[in-house]
Structure 1
Amino acid sequence: MNTREYIESGILELYVFGKLSEDENTDVQIRANEYPEIKKEIESIEQAIINLSYSVAPHLSNENFNAIRKALLERETAVVPLKPKTNRAAYLGWAASFLLLLGAGFLYFQMNQGDILLKDSKQKNDQLQKSVVTLQEQNKNNETILNLLKNEKNTLVTLAGQTVAPEAKAKIYWNQEDHSVYVDASGLPEAPKGHVYQVWSLKMDPLTPTSIGLLEKTEIGNSKIFKVDNTADAEGFGITLEPAGGSAAPTMDQLYTLGKV
Structure 2
Amino acid sequence: MNIKAYIESGTLELYVAGALSEKESQEVYNLTVKHPELLEEALKIEATIVKLTAATAPIDSQSLFNNILSQISTNNNVRPLNQTKKHWFTYVSWAASIVFAAGLLWFANQNIQLKEQLRIADTDKELLETQIENSRNSLTEAKALISVLRDKDIITVPLDGQAISPEAYAKVYWDVKGNNIVLDVQGLPDPPKGKVYQVWSLTLNPLTPTSLGVIENFTTDENKLFTIANTNASEAFGITLEPDGGSESPTLEQLYTLGAVATTP
Q: Shift in Å at residue 133 of structure 1? A: 1.8
Distance 1:171 1:149 in 2: 14
Q: Secondary structure at 2:238's aligned position in 1?
A: strand
Distance 2:146 2:119 in 1: 41
Q: When the two structures are aligned, how many residues end up with a matched partner?
A: 155
Matches within 5 A, 1:1-261: 110-151=107-148, 152=151, 153-218=153-218, 221-261=221-261
Q: Secondary structure at 1:146's aligned position in 2?
A: helix
CA contact (8 A) 1:201 1:209 kept: yes
Q: Once the two structures are superposed, what CA deviation does each residue of 1:139-175 show, in whole Å capped at 9, x if it has no partner?
A: 2113213312322153221101011111010111221
CA contact (8 A) 1:239 1:256 kept: yes
TM-score (norm 1): 0.53
CA contact (8 A) 2:238 2:257 kept: yes
Distance 1:147 1:227 in 2: 10
Q: Taking every aligned residue pair, what percent have the same amino acid on both sides?
A: 40
CA contact (8 A) 2:242 2:254 kept: yes
**Unpaired runs of at least 5, structure 2:** 1-105
Q: Shift in Å at residue 221 of structure 1? A: 4.3
Moved beyond 3 Å, runs of 4+: 218-221
Alignment RMSD (CA, Å): 2.6
Q: Shift in Å at residue 230 of structure 1? A: 2.1
Q: Shift in Å at residue 176 of structure 1? A: 0.9
Q: Shift in Å at residue 228 of structure 1? A: 3.0
Give the partner amino acid of 1:225.
L
CA contact (8 A) 2:195 2:244 kept: yes
TM-score (norm 2): 0.52
Q: Once the two structures are superposed, what CA deviation does each residue of 1:176-214 show, in whole Å capped at 9, x if it has no partner?
A: 112112322221112222322111101122221111111
Distance 2:220 2:212 in 1: 18
Distance 2:179 2:200 in 1: 14
CA contact (8 A) 1:141 1:220 kept: no
